[in-house]
Amino acid sequence: MQISSSDIWNTVQTIRQKAPLIHNITNYVVMNYTANALLAVGASPVMAHAEEEVEDMVNIAGALVINIGTLSSHWIKSMFRAANEAGKRNIPIILDPVGAGATGYRTRITREFMETVPPTVIRGNASEILAILKDDAKTKGVDSTASSNDALRDAREINRTYGSIVCISGKTDYIISADHTVKVMNGHPMMTRVTGMGCTATAICGAFAAVNTQTSAAVAEAMAVMGIAGELAVAKAEGPGSLQYHFLDALYALSHEDIERLLKIEVSS
């Protein structure tokens, strides 16, 4: 598998042309920003979490994004109900285990999800990924206490056990599948100063997976676009506040030339 700037650009164009509906059951903190990011990249977001409607919404969606950032019991029921329906219909499920490892509750729900409805993709920081298999893995709130390469062995085990594509976010993003490991080295440290950038990456993964059936490639493309847009935004930003709106503008105006000039990606077997 190779991923070129032209491959990524073709997927971006497909998203802009098809505007796939991305069903998000996500957290209060990031709803507005992730919806705007999906719109900026060309997708169509919907934030629907009522248990009474999630199955109907999944049926018209191109992907389901589940984010456990602000857990509550009734949202958990909706998450499982939506995921079960998506699984029946072969709709990509992208799980963001926000804060897994910080509390027993979050870790337990993440593990139950993996056992009950293994997601197509799980995207998290290193601590969150480690917490899926290790009881002693610790997360600092929603922030990682480990670097992304620390979780590579566990990510491969998760992929073998559940079949999920595993995306570990960090200074370098790793995308682990059965056949390949992809390293994406785009992005900027200032992005960590804006809440919800990781959650936004998960949502963008949903948009790419909705139109590219090669899921590992779709996730790598999404992470590259996130990082490149971040680099473009930082070049214009004065700090985290202005980074937020420059990032949305960068997603909206992203060109093939931007991708070709800035892409930093490696694929290995």
The pLDDT tens digits for 234-254 are: 999 999 999 999 999 999 999
User: Does 141 have pLDDT greater than 50?
Assistant: no
* Percent of the chain topping pLDDT 90: 91
What is the distance between the alpha carbons of residues 256 and 254, in angstroms, rounded to a whole number? 7
pTM for this predicted structure? 0.94
Element containing residue 114 per DSSP (H, E): helix 104-116
How crowded is residue 190: how many other Cβ atoms within 10 Å of its Cβ? 17
Q: What is the pLDDT of residue 146?
A: 59
> What DSSP assignment string belongs to 122-188?
EEEEHHHHHHTT-TT---BTTB-SS-GGGGHHHHHHHHHHH--EEEEESSSEEEE-SS-EEEE----
Domain boundaries, the chain: 5-268
The pLDDT tens digits for 171-182 are: 999 999 999 999
Main-chain phi, psi angles of 173, to 5 degrees: -95, 135
Q: In what order do the strands lie in the sheet with 265-268?
A: 44-47, 21-25, 63-67, 93-96, 121-125, 165-169, 173-176, 181-184, 265-268
Q: Residue 97: which of 87, 82, 112 has the closest Cα?
A: 112
Q: What is the pLDDT of residue 150?
A: 81
Cβ atoms of 15 and 41 within 8 Å: the answer is yes
The pLDDT tens digits for 74-130 are: 999 999 999 999 999 999 999 999 999 889 999 999 999 999 999 999 999 999 999
Residue 102, both tokens: 């910080």
What is the distance between the alpha carbons of residues 12 and 40, in angstroms, rounded to a whole number? 11
- Architecture of the domain spanning 5-268: 3-Layer(aba) Sandwich (3.40)
Q: What is the pLDDT of residue 97?
A: 95
Going by the DSSP 8-state scheme, the letter that residue 200 receives in this structure is: H
Q: Where residue 42 falls among pLDDT bands split at 50, 70, 90?
A: very high
User: Does 147 have pLDDT greater than 90?
Assistant: no
* Alpha-carbon torsion (255, 20, 237, 99), positive or negative: negative
Q: Is 6 helix (H, G, I), strand (E, B) or coil?
A: helix
